[in-house]
Amino acid sequence: MKEQMLPAKGKLGILLPGLGAVASTMIAGVIATRKGLSKPVGSLTQTGHIELGEGKGDRFPLIKDFVPLASLEDVVFGGWDIYEDNVYEAASHAKVLDQHLLDALKPELETIRPMKAVFDRDYVRNLDGKFIKQSANKWDAAQELIRDIETFKKENKVSRVVIVWTGSTEKYLEASAVHESIAAFEAGLKNNDPAIAPSMVYAYAAVSQGIPFINGAPNLTTDIPAIVQLANKTKTPIGGKDFKTGQTLMKTIVAPGLAARSLGVTGWYSTNILGNRDGLVLDDEQNFKTKEVSKLGVLEDILRPDLHPDLYGDLYHKIRINYYPPHGDNKESWDNIDIFGWLNYQMQIKINFLCRDSILAAPLVLDLALFADLAQRAGMYGVQDWLSFYLKSPQTQEGVPAENDIFKQLNTLKEVLRNMMKEDEPEFNTVKHIRAAEQVIG
Ligand SMILES: NC(=O)c1ccc[n+]([C@@H]2O[C@H](COP(=O)([O-])OP(=O)(O)OC[C@H]3O[C@@H](n4cnc5c(N)ncnc54)[C@H](O)[C@@H]3O)[C@@H](O)[C@H]2O)c1
């Protein structure tokens, strides 16, 4: 693969359907980093190291020095939204970043303006933006998106484009006949089939043109046979769903630890409050259901009650999300975990995470975009399940079970990067190796 890998030549366009809190926080962060005003904390591509085998020079290089990623200097941003706000206005509205930082970035941020969105209010009932394409049908909407992408490429002189969905969570939808094949889907686009969500129109437009598409929300979007088939046909990397941040991030860090110690879990109650626009959207029952389904799977996959009925057979898992405007983007989550140990003695763990939703999500968008571009240049296509590390409800290749344990996910990701570059696995089985690693990592 190393010999076939195309270099990261020219500029990379990162297009984002949904220029809201997460997208604007990511864009502002990249520009702040470029200007030397900040560090890209939380981004594995920018700050993470990778362990290599013996005798290969630097055994712990930075990931960005090991694989040929696009440089932050070469990245250009664009996107779509149902509101006309430029990224400076969107970021100011989101109130995630300090206004004085946004003001320092204003000249760059205000030049990034959304293109008109493909939107259907039936899918996101709590938003009423008017900056929307008036297409005759969903097929025409997809063609307009393809033209938008071409115009963006020309105007910004970019050589490659990737798309990451940072738009709102759409209402709950199950895959049906129209999603089953490319032909059925294309007919559905022309017939304006109501089961084709706006996010799927973006995914179709991108993938039909060979543009990688990653879905950061819990909507189905790329997780339907039609888009998977199209991605294989056009040799395009796709992936999803739902950025792994906040409470689920904590869950997939803590649960593998409990399982590693063979401690039992009888209950895991998770509740949280958030007051941003995402919280407003999720205040609708149908949109919450999409999120709930995405969040519920992780514990079963990590704890495997089928293999350990005595430890996890009675697990009760409950999740609540409550819209609470005073907290804005500063989501607060509470977890009550009922566990048991030796001779079934009961214990409890309480986690109160005062997090910042978009601060956690922004570096994931950047990493996913850079890795999706890398995958394409490495000749990889179809579902990129090695990117599960970033995702709450990983889409996998057919027949492959999802992995939710964050440590296993990170191992897989690094393993894929080593394979791309034809490097050996490290051998961390001696004290010498561990000490060497500690010295480098600090
Ligand atoms: N912040 C996190 O930690 C986190 C974690 C996991 C997933 N997510 C998901 O990421 C997405 C973005 O989150 P956010 O906090 O930025 O929300 P947000 O509401 O601030 O931004 C979403 C933007 O998408 C726009 N939009 C909606 N439908 C659109 C369409 N069809 N085309 C173009 N634009 C559209 C909205 O107008 C809005 O500006 C949400 O789906 C959220 O569930 C966020």
Q: Which amino acid is at 223?
A: D
- Residue pLDDT, tens place only, 219-228: 999 999 999 9
Q: In this structure, what token pair is assigned to residue 75?
A: 């990245």
Residue 438 lies in a domain: no
Residue 440 lies in a domain: no
Whether 127 shows a pLDDT value over 80: the answer reads yes
Going along 184-236, which residue ranges are E strands?
A: 213-215
Distance 165 CA to ligand 1 centre (A): 8
Q: What is the pTM of this model?
A: 0.94
As for how many domains the chain has, the answer is 2
Q: Which of 16, 22, 241 to mutate to test the pocket of ligand 1 (most atoms within 8 A of CB)?
A: 22
Cα 133 to Cα 68: distance, rounded to the nearest angstrom: 37
Q: Band of the pLDDT at 231, cuts 50, 70, 90?
A: very high
Residues 97 and 231 placed together within one structural domain of the fold: yes
Residue 439 lies in a domain: no
φ, ψ at 124 (rounded to 5°): -140, 85
Residue 2 lies in a domain: no
The residue contributing the CA closest to ligand 1 atom 40 is 168
Residues 293 and 331 placed together within one structural domain of the fold: yes
Share above pLDDT 90 across residues of the chain, in percent, rounded to a whole number: 86
Positive or negative, the CA dihedral 339, 400, 427, 435 is negative
Q: Band of the pLDDT at 345, cuts 50, 70, 90?
A: very high
Residues 312 and 285 placed together within one structural domain of the fold: yes
- CB neighbours of residue 404 within 10 Å: 25
Residues 74 and 167 placed together within one structural domain of the fold: yes
For residue 291, the ligand 1 atom closest to its alpha carbon is 43
Query: How much is the pLDDT for 54?
Result: 77
CATH number at residue 143: 3.40.50.720
Query: How much is the pLDDT for 436?
Result: 47
Query: How much is the pLDDT for 249?
Result: 95
Domain that holds residue 31: 11-243+359-420
Query: How much is the pLDDT for 1?
Result: 64
Query: How much is the pLDDT for 293?
Result: 80
Residues 363 and 350 placed together within one structural domain of the fold: no
| The residue to which tokens 């958030």 are assigned | 274
Query: How much is the pLDDT for 437?
Result: 47
DSSP string covering 393-405: S---STTPPP---
Residues framing ligand 1 (Cβ under 6 A): 17-23, 80-83, 94, 117-119, 124, 127, 129, 166-169, 198, 216-217, 242-243, 245-246, 276-278, 357-358, 360-361
Residue 388 lies in a domain: yes
Whether 426 shows a pLDDT value over 70: the answer reads no
Cα 427 to Cα 436: distance, rounded to the nearest angstrom: 12
For residue 82, the ligand 1 atom closest to its alpha carbon is 37
Distance 22 CA to ligand 1 centre (A): 7
- Residue pLDDT, tens place only, 9-61: 999 999 999 999 999 999 999 999 999 999 999 999 999 999 998 766 788 99
The residue contributing the CA closest to ligand 1 atom 6 is 243
- Residue pLDDT, tens place only, 72-89: 999 999 999 999 999 999
